[in-house]
Structure 1
Amino acid sequence: MKPEVKKFTAEVGGKTITFESGKLAGQAGGAVTIQLGESVVFSAATMSSETKEGQDFFPLTVEYEERMYAGGRIPGSFFRREGRPAGDVILTSRLIDRPLRPLFSEDIRNEVQVILYSLSADFDNPLDVLAINAASASLMISDIPWNGPVGAVRVGRINGEYIINPTYPQMEDSDLDLRIAGTSDAILMVEAGSNEISEADMITAIALGHQAIQPLVEAQLRMAAEIGKPKREVTRFSIDPASIDAVFEKYNLAMENLLDSPHTKAELADGLKDLKNDTIEFFAGEDEEKAAQYAEAFEEAYKKVVRSRILDRHLRPDGRDLTEVRPIWCEVGVLPRAHGTGLFTRGETQVLTIATLGTPRDAQEIDTLSPIDNKRYMHHYNFPPFCTGETKKLGGQSRREIGHGALAERALVPVIPSEEEFPYTIRLVSEVLSSNGSSSMASVCGSTLALMDTGVPIKAPVTGVAMGLIKEGDNYVILTDIQGAEDHLGDMDFKVTGTEKGITALQMDIKIRGITTEIMTKALAQAREGRKLILEKILEVIPRPNPDLKPHVPRITSVQIPIEKIGAIIGPGGKNIRALQENTNTKIDIDDNGLVYISAANSGDSETARDQILSMIETAVLGNIYTGKVVRTADFGAFVEILPNVDGMVHISQLDSERVNKVEDIVSVGDELTVMVTGIDDNGKIRLSRQAVLEGWTLEQAIAADSKKSGGSRNGSGDRNDRGGRSGGGHSGGDRSKDRRRNDSFPKR
């Protein structure tokens, strides 16, 4: 029997978003599809029936999987099936996770999985914000205890007008890409990239976004009321408040003394470890169950001490003022062979960013359901265990590393010069060498240093700072440049990057409800002052991009050629371009619009390649004199290659000043001949004259003499009408590369 399908709709930004449940995945805890246009995302949320023994955290997994069939595509991998998710797909999983996680109770130990698939992609409506809503809806109708729902939208801005859920084509003209998720009364997550917009405009966009999510929240509440399952009763693993109070009462003064004494991150960690061991020994003794309980109680007591010191006495763990940025020092030109380097140190956080410039063919090819198929600017971020004084198993990049790299990349996109201005592929790698918080913002600053050291003509330097919040009731404080402990124990992680002119990226995650517009406005203003101070430190080291590229950077020059000449440059099977690259020691890329990029270690090789390319596409000009090679002879004349792949015919009557009885009496195949172009017909056939050169005639004189000899009757190429212009199936002259198509074997960009 076919199940009953339920549909619920919400009008958002003038478009209908449809939730559907009941048709798919009946055994999941909750299963939903969401549709906008022809884009469809599926989400299933399920919770395990048992807890894992000894587990001391809430095990939530959010996994978004992009299926290429959704866009009618076959994956480009060797196996032709989906493999390891691309960076953008991992970022979408993080984007979904961030607003869901704060609404789960931390004392749950049952494993929860939210798994999402792209089912249909119309390449018009992005899937990421749809996925957040789908995940929320699947949790709402499931039996999983959760304090949702969450709604999410994207906000763009075109010519000053804000747009809710803009399409991909609209985003090309937008100076803002803001994704926001929240509940009916609170914002939980903001992710934004922008083209140096003001703080006031960003606040306006966030407020509009929060207003726009309301219909999505209301639709999910209707779903839960009508088709939602009863929430399951699960065992809660909470800490006895009496234990926390007992630990606080006995050890709060020791914690205060430890925080008041000058310390490094490692010294503070060692001191806290000793206090925790004392706590466990005093309260639990040899009882392992009590030991785990009092270990957690100690963490909660320490959190209470730190938060109360900051909130009530404005005392931060390292003794700074609320708006004070940690001491900064930085350098450029750290590595001798790198194209550019920037070392940025702020407090105990240190990042070394290395810039590498490549040719257009080095651009990253993207095989996802986004309409973007390549990327010429990339930023990668690495966070090894030694940067926090730890040892861990090494592997591939974590989700966190991919997310931080993407944030730094987005921060710098607005200032990267266009490909027309700077025809290089740019890769930045930020190596975190030491970390005590805000390493993602340090990577932004290190990247600015590295780009300017390389000589990349960025439009403006970009800096970044991480802000924090401690809030109890109506009392709150905002912290500038938070370190690790303040991030872990605080209520908000608010990262802002920008130029002197405005914001380029923003990322905000909020752990509590009640973040007001007033708080966000104050945080942005405070962040601007922090960014300004950091910018001053950077400009002291390097005030502007270096005027010249480093010695080891390949030199790229460009030349525009007609599209129809691309085939002549590439040649059959790529023969011509391979030979050209080998002979000139260059790398050559050609885009579909005929823009040729020439990369070489020195400018001399680039110029040689450029001259050869121009000669290969040169066309014959009436009246010009060329020295070419005889490629074939016939009874009626000789064919001379005057330009690469371009030849014309010298009629026997034009081979000499005197009468010629036989062509071979004057020239043979392989001889060089200097000739004038005296005619080009509509089909591209070229008429040449050696006699015009010998006599020193002008073009008009040469044409007149030729016409007289041929009885005043000549066709456009100068062939006599009774000869026809071709004989015995021979070559008729003209551009031999005409109609030759670009060969697919040539490396694509």
Structure 2
Amino acid sequence: MSKIYETTVAGRKLSLEFGKVAELANGAVIVRYGDTVVLTTATASDKPRDGIDFFPLSVDYEERLYSVGKIPGSFMRREGRPSEKAILTSRVIDRPMRPLFPKDLRNDVAIVSTVLSVEQDNSPEFCAMIGSMKKVVMIEAGAKEIPDDVMYDAIMFAHEEIKKLCAFIQGIQDEIGKKTKFEYQSMEVDSTLYEDIKAFAIDLIKGALDTDDKNVREERLLVVYDKVFQNFAEKYPAEEYESQINEALYKLQKYVVRRWILDEGKRVDGRGLLDLRPLSAEVALLPRVHGSGLFSRGQTQVLTVATLAPLGETQTIDGLDEEEYKRYMHHYNFPSYSVGETRPSRGPGRREIGHGALAERSLEPVIPSEADFPYAIRLVSEVLSSNGSTSQGSVCGSTLALMDAGVPISAPVAGISVGLITEGERFITMVDIQGLEDFFGDMDFKVAGTKNGITAIQMDLKIDGLTPEIIKTAITQTRDARYYILDEIMLPAISAPRAELSKYAPKIIDMTIPVDKIRDVIGSGGKIIQKIIADTGVKIDIEDDGRVLIAAVDLESGNKALKIIEGIVKDPQPGEIYDGKVVRIMDFGAFVEFVPGKDGLVHISKLDKTRVNKVEDIVNVGDDIKVEVIEIDKMGRINLRRVIEG
């Protein structure tokens, strides 16, 4: 039998209904917030998956366009791959959920949230998420250069509201939660095997890890692994214990890294806890692109390329909300060679999409408005080398590329991350974590912003939550590092956006025409505008309010198109001279099109200074001639004369 529980959030009713649908799932709930409805289910496999050393959790946030009364725009007229927003929502649900599961669980677990109905005022993403009671388990924020203290207060305020929801959910669990909890086979490493390997290999592991070079570290570790397998070949044969030995060695590396930091304040590469790796910045690397920036932090290296295009090339969005177009786009690529691997490229995965979206959110507050800079903007960050914090490297590289492209951003943006090691109530944070510190640490707290304030935060967490003290410390440490990166590294490479765009970037001419003249410029079936484009080689976008954007690689072509459009929308006046083309011959004269879609008559008597017996003696269809407007009669007919040079 179904049961409904209700509470109020932001003055609106939130209801959770259990026991009505999806009975074969391990758990299912229908969440309603206003007219927004989301079905969330959770299912686990009976047995652990063989041969893996991680928790196989999958989270899918599935958008259904019927929820907003739309038919998908794809060729198949059905939903295809998840939208970028759906993928980001899945990641936001995944990250706080994953640390709450046992670390030795290897059963497949699938969480699926399906959006069934959407009321635009009530977020379906909210309906698909849950919180944690005591600590903050997830932060995902975008802001317009917010001061540190304001951001901290906002996080704390949000957590107080989340606690109310958690209490509501806990009450439901106390009443109808399953009394016999899910039982699983623990995949924890055998304690005897681990202690044996620890006694033999701990000093070898310390020696292998103690370097600032990732390649050297991995080469040393390969030697250690070989020695361990050889030493325990009889006691723990590889064919039976390989996965256990690998897990033990991973666990031992984690132990060493964490003890160094907690007991000695020592980092793997010898840095102090607040020290940054070697940094460098460079712009204008690629001659033909519109803008480029290379940012390096230790062995992490990101190249970002900026491309400018007419507004007609903005991205069309086929999603659940009311946003239909995206003018500024950021894409992030993470090829296998960046980590020294050889896997084939299969297009962007969830991680790539998530990192691209984070960089996009970080820079969005400083992107100039469409009115001030009428361009579509695409940034592509290519990760050339990865040893931690590539997403924040792409923020820095993107700022460099935008400035190199001449995009008038309001302020440069830099990004940095803070790591965390905890032991009970004790914690230690470290700035600018590299890959190993991310793998073996408890947090990757990423903050991007300008000298004026924070523009984005994203937190990946491996423990059950953060205390307010940890959050405040992380925000302060990233601010200081961000200022250093901006002042000492990025601004010396390029101090301000370039005054002029690349010669290869399109030049945009912005003009406005009367709304009632739009049809004249477009012409029947687009005939006139297509002719202008063909004759000048430009791109033209016309908006409903009469705004016209002409994009041309060279200003000469753009100005030519501008003059043509001005001629179309402007009523010709006597005395004005035009370059025209003869389009029709009559006995009494020649009709000349002097602007697209607009022609006038050159009477035979106006073709030359002397008497003309036959029109064809002077001009023929297709001839280019210069004409002057001499009269516009009461019926609006335009009379011209041929202008004779000299």
Assess same fold via TM > 0.5: yes
- Partner of 1:358 in structure 2? 309
Query: Where do residues 548-697 of structure 1 align in structure 2 (5 Å cutoff)?
Result: 548-619=500-571, 674-675=629-630
The Cα of 1:643 is off from its aligned counterpart by 7.6
Q: Deviations over 1:619-641 (max 9, x none)?
A: 468xx666799999xxxxxx999
Residues 1:67 and 2:57 aligned together: no
Q: With a CA cutoff of 8 Å and minimum separation of 6, indicate the structure with the bigger relative contact order.
A: 2
CA-atom RMSD in angstroms: 2.9
Query: Where do residues 99-178 of structure 1 align in structure 2 (5 Å cutoff)?
Result: 99-132=96-129, 150-151=130-131
Specify whether residues 383 and 627 from structure 1 end up closer, same or farther in structure 2 by C-alpha distance, changes over 3 A only.
Answer: closer
Which of 200, 217, 232 is the aligned partner of 2:166? Answer: 217
- Partner of 2:217 in structure 1? 268
Specify whether residues 500 and 218 from structure 1 end up closer, same or farther in structure 2 by C-alpha distance, changes over 3 A only.
Answer: same
Specify whether residues 631 and 62 from structure 1 end up closer, same or farther in structure 2 by C-alpha distance, changes over 3 A only.
Answer: closer
Query: Does structure 1 retain, via aligned residues, the 8 Å contact 2:336–2:342?
Result: yes
Which of 45, 50, 61 is the aligned partner of 2:42? Answer: 45
Query: Does structure 1 retain, via aligned residues, the 8 Å contact 2:575–2:628?
Result: no
My pick for the range that moved more, 215-224 or 393-402, is 215-224
Task: Give the counterpart letter for 2:262 in structure 1.
Answer: L
The Cα of 1:218 is off from its aligned counterpart by 2.2
Query: Does structure 1 retain, via aligned residues, the 8 Å contact 2:528–2:597?
Result: no
The Cα of 1:556 is off from its aligned counterpart by 1.1
Specify whether residues 643 and 588 from structure 1 end up closer, same or farther in structure 2 by C-alpha distance, changes over 3 A only.
Answer: closer
Specify whether residues 675 and 532 from structure 1 end up closer, same or farther in structure 2 by C-alpha distance, changes over 3 A only.
Answer: same
The Cα of 1:255 is off from its aligned counterpart by 2.6
Query: Where do residues 383-402 of structure 1 align in structure 2 (5 Å cutoff)?
Result: 383-402=334-353
Which of 175, 187, 196 is the aligned partner of 1:237? Answer: 187
Q: Which runs of 5+ in 1 are unaligned?
A: 133-149, 152-182, 633-638, 650-654, 656-669, 680-684, 691-749
The Cα of 1:675 is off from its aligned counterpart by 4.5
Count residues with an aligned counterpart: 613
Query: Does structure 1 retain, via aligned residues, the 8 Å contact 2:599–2:638?
Result: no
Task: Give the counterpart letter for 1:244 in structure 2.
Answer: Y
Report the TM-score when normalising by structure 2: 0.89
Query: Does structure 2 retain, via aligned residues, the 8 Å contact 1:647–1:686?
Result: no
Give, in whole Å, the separation in 1 of the partners of 2:57 and 2:288. 45
- Partner of 2:410 in structure 1? 459
The Cα of 1:248 is off from its aligned counterpart by 2.9
SS across alignment from 1:248: helix
Query: Does structure 2 retain, via aligned residues, the 8 Å contact 1:625–1:677?
Result: no
- Partner of 1:143 in structure 2? none
- Partner of 1:91 in structure 2? 88
- Partner of 2:617 in structure 1? none
Which of 336, 344, 348 is the aligned partner of 2:287? Answer: 336
> Equivalent pairs: percent with the same residue?
46
The Cα of 1:648 is off from its aligned counterpart by 11
SS across alignment from 1:189: coil
SS across alignment from 2:139: strand
Query: Does structure 2 retain, via aligned residues, the 8 Å contact 1:12–1:213?
Result: no
Give, in whole Å, the separation in 2 of the partners of 1:124 and 1:563. 33
- Partner of 1:410 in structure 2? 361
The structure with the largest alpha-carbon Rg is 1
The Cα of 1:403 is off from its aligned counterpart by 0.5
Query: Does structure 1 retain, via aligned residues, the 8 Å contact 2:509–2:558?
Result: yes
Specify whether residues 293 and 380 from structure 1 end up closer, same or farther in structure 2 by C-alpha distance, changes over 3 A only.
Answer: same
Report the TM-score when normalising by structure 1: 0.77
Give, in whole Å, the separation in 2 of the partners of 1:627 and 1:389. 67
SS across alignment from 1:80: coil
Give, in whole Å, the separation in 2 of the partners of 1:625 and 1:598. 28
The Cα of 1:463 is off from its aligned counterpart by 0.6
- Partner of 1:279 in structure 2? 228
Specify whether residues 393 and 644 from structure 1 end up closer, same or farther in structure 2 by C-alpha distance, changes over 3 A only.
Answer: closer
Task: Give the counterpart letter for 1:614 in structure 2.
Answer: E
Give, in whole Å, the separation in 2 of the partners of 1:417 and 1:539. 19
Task: Give the counterpart letter for 1:363 in structure 2.
Answer: T
Give, in whole Å, the separation in 2 of the partners of 1:646 and 1:334. 48
Give, in whole Å, the separation in 2 of the partners of 1:450 and 1:631. 49
Q: Deviations over 1:258-310 (max 9, x none)?
A: 344x4510111121222233233334442533343232122212211110111
Query: Where do residues 461-476 of structure 1 align in structure 2 (5 Å cutoff)?
Result: 461-476=412-427
Give, in whole Å, the separation in 1 of the partners of 2:400 and 2:213. 27
The Cα of 1:256 is off from its aligned counterpart by 2.7
Residues 1:532 and 2:529 aligned together: no
Q: Deviations over 1:478-529 (max 9, x none)?
A: 1110000000111111001011111111101222235221211111111111
Query: Does structure 2 retain, via aligned residues, the 8 Å contact 1:627–1:675?
Result: no
Give, in whole Å, the separation in 2 of the partners of 1:614 and 1:90. 46
Give, in whole Å, the separation in 1 of the partners of 2:425 and 2:174. 33
SS across alignment from 2:70: coil
Give, in whole Å, the separation in 1 of the partners of 2:510 and 2:360. 26
